[in-house]
Amino acid sequence: MIRIGIAGYGNLGKGVEAAVHNSPDMELAVIFTRRDPASVSPKTPGVRVASFDSIAEYADKVDVVVNCGGSATDLPVTTPKIAALFNVLDSFDTHAKIPQHFAKVDDAAKSGGHIAIISVGWDPGMFSLNRMYMNAILPNGSDYTFWGRGVSQGHSDAIRRIDGVVDARQYTVPVEEAVARVRAGENPTLTTREKHTRECYVVAEEGADKARIENEIKTMPNYFADYDTTVYFISMDELREKHMGIPHGGSVIRSGCTGWDLTTKHTIEYSLKLESNPEFTGSVLAAYARAAYRMRQNGESGCKTVFDVAPAQLMQESGEALRAHLL
């Protein structure tokens, strides 16, 4: 049994817990939290909840720690710290800062003789992996990533910070016409606005100036200004009834050419339809936790990404069984 530790028990931590519960070769050994451990009620019967500050005491009780903190301020600090003590995974998703995060985690993991796998999930993660395979096998071409229809936590948070907003959900929606043109192999040049639209469901305070809120949303730089954005004001009841899920998904599509003169066309598409973003991400993390455990058993150490993990490492079955049944 691979003994898993979870650091952080939010939506993602709960997703990892469920994935471990449904993996016959894994057991959840401990949950680390920054909150009062007595206030955390895990689903897993009898599992220990410990303070994050006591994590070093568990070095011989846990094989892999799945770090479920946030990318903005938590993971850059905690993943290197954990990597010095344990094999560790995270889902660090600030694309621009991956190189510096990698370097720090690599130093820590090597010093401790552990495996760390960063940026595991679906984007970065399975989408990155598919972009790479598509680029490798169709080197002459263009790829496109569409996200949604799904809830963007960051955009929902941005709306909530506006004065007069009680709660909000933002859906990122791919523009169907753009997706169809890419699928047809047209290789179009698409602006930000042509690829996605944004739908906002907003609960406003009583008496709030809705026109001002709508304008503040639609003109918000980086988040909404470059998109066609639609704002719907709804009641808290409607938000609770229709918008409590965390669905997401999207597609990576590459069209490219082969042949001596590059005149033969091909299209590759990888797509996800997810009812729960954190549960799916948790399930991807659990599979890569198995790989981290095995790579360490093979004597490897240091920081890795999904690019460095041979696919067979993700599976419980032996190479022989995999070749006989999945190849």
List of residues contacting a second copy (CB under 8 A): 15, 17-19, 21-23, 43, 95, 98-99, 102, 119, 124, 126, 128-133, 135-140, 185, 258-260, 262, 264-276, 279-280, 282-284, 287, 305-312, 314-315, 319-320, 322-324, 326-327
Q: Is-contact 261 235, C-beta < 8 A? A: no
Q: Least distance (Å) from a second copy to the CB of residue 282?
A: 7
Give CA–CA dist 65/53, Å, rounded: 14
* Closest to a second copy by CB, 17 or 216: 17
* Closest to a second copy by CB, 161 or 323: 323
CB-side neighbour CA atoms (13 Å) of 49: 18
Q: Least distance (Å) from a second copy to the CB of residue 280?
A: 5
Residue 281 phi, psi dihedral angles, 5° rounding: -60, -40
* Closest to a second copy by CB, 28 or 88: 28
Q: Least distance (Å) from a second copy to the CB of residue 164?
A: 34
CA 277-63-95 angle, to 5 degrees, is 40
Residue 271 phi, psi dihedral angles, 5° rounding: -135, 150
* Closest to a second copy by CB, 175 or 322: 322
Rg (CA), the chain: 22
Q: Least distance (Å) from a second copy to the CB of residue 232?
A: 26
* Closest to a second copy by CB, 6 or 231: 6
Q: Least distance (Å) from a second copy to the CB of residue 274?
A: 5
Cα–Cα distances (Å) from 59 to 75, 110, 114, in that order, read 19, 16, 11
Q: Which among 115, 112, 108 is positioned nearest to 88, based on CA atoms?
A: 115
Cis (ω within 30 of 0) for the bond into 24?
no
Beta bridge partners of 233: 202
Give CA–CA dist 185/144, Å, rounded: 11
Q: Least distance (Å) from a second copy to the CB of residue 115?
A: 13
* Closest to a second copy by CB, 233 or 270: 270
Q: Least distance (Å) from a second copy to the CB of residue 277?
A: 10
State the pairing for strand pair 115-117/302-304.
parallel
Give CA–CA dist 277/324, Å, rounded: 32
* Closest to a second copy by CB, 111 or 318: 318
